[in-house]
Structure 1
Amino acid sequence: MTAAPIHATAVAHWTPGAGWRAIVVSGPPGAGKSDLALRLIGRGWRLVADDYVHVFASGDALYATVPETIAGRIEARGVGLVGACARGVVRLVLAVELIDTAPERLPDPEFLTLAGRTLPLLRLKGFEASMVEKVAAAIALL
């Protein structure tokens, strides 16, 4: 297994019948990656990694894990680094890219390729109040 580090945040959610499934959140610095993760954690999700995520392929799937040096910590901008209940290796099922403009109302399906595998891609405006609900709706469709 060769894990490629990417500048992103990953969080996981337990789904009955499917187990732990994770999303990877990307975007430029200050776009709201950790903010979205903190909101999801507040709704029962678990941190996988904040700021840097190791992504690797196994079989047809993609997985995420945390670099050891940052395990169990997330940046709360304006507060500092805080501890968070974390998961280990988790299967990625969705990529979220935070953008600074309004996303298309009815976008065509898009995909992101990481480590030679593809994930469905959801583009959201960073810091939008409904980000958590949109992520929950998207992951429920998978």
Structure 2
Amino acid sequence: MILGDSSSGKSDLALRLIDRGAQLVADDYTEIRRDNDNLLADAPLTIRGRIEVRGLGIVALPHVDGVPITLAVRLCRDVERMPERATKAFAGVAIRVLTLDPRPASAPLIVEYALRYDLP
């Protein structure tokens, strides 16, 4: 789950992750539901399978629903070099939060490493 202000680079980072094999759940707004101790993400019907691509407009892409949320990526331009592990509660479920500058080319790799190796 990517969090950030308007025009902070959420869709751009999502597109770079999709290019590396990730799957689109939702762009702009995501429905979150709790299932026991897990959070699941779904796309609202009105925007299902669509993402805004700056300079092109709305683009249709394959999407998935019912995806477990295990990491929240908070976009920010001022990032600590060696951050402590952080969590935030969503619907009463603690989710890891990675603060990330989305501009560097390595941003999608950092997200993948955080997911793969349970970092930070």
Query: Residue type of the partner of 2:40?
Result: Y
Q: Secondary structure in 2 aligned to 1:86?
A: coil
Q: Does 1:47 align with 2:24?
A: yes
Structure 1 ranges of 4+ moved more than 4 A = none
Cα RMSD of the aligned pairs, angstroms, is 0.8
Residues in 2 aligned to 1:46 and 1:126: alpha-carbon distance in whole angstroms: 18
Residues in 1 aligned to 2:31 and 2:17: alpha-carbon distance in whole angstroms: 20
TM-score (norm 1): 0.80
Q: Could you tell me which of 70, 85, 89 is aligned with 1:113?
A: 89
Deviation at 1:128, TM superposition (A): 2.0
CA contact (8 A) 1:46 1:84 kept: no
Query: Residue type of the partner of 2:80?
Result: E
The structure with the largest strand share of the pair is 1
Pairwise mapping of residues 112-131 of structure 1 onto structure 2 (< 5 A)? Answer: 112-131=88-107
Residues in 1 aligned to 2:102 and 2:116: alpha-carbon distance in whole angstroms: 21
CA contact (8 A) 1:35 1:127 kept: no
Q: What is the aligned length?
A: 118
Q: Secondary structure in 1 aligned to 2:64?
A: coil
Q: Does 1:79 align with 2:56?
A: yes
Residues in 2 aligned to 1:125 and 1:61: alpha-carbon distance in whole angstroms: 27
Deviation at 1:89, TM superposition (A): 1.1
Instruction: Structure 2: state its 5+ residue gaps.
Output: none
CA contact (8 A) 1:31 1:127 kept: no
Pairwise mapping of residues 1-142 of structure 1 onto structure 2 (< 5 A)? Answer: 24-101=1-78, 103-142=79-118
- Equivalent pairs: percent with the same residue? 42
Query: Residue type of the partner of 1:30?
Result: S
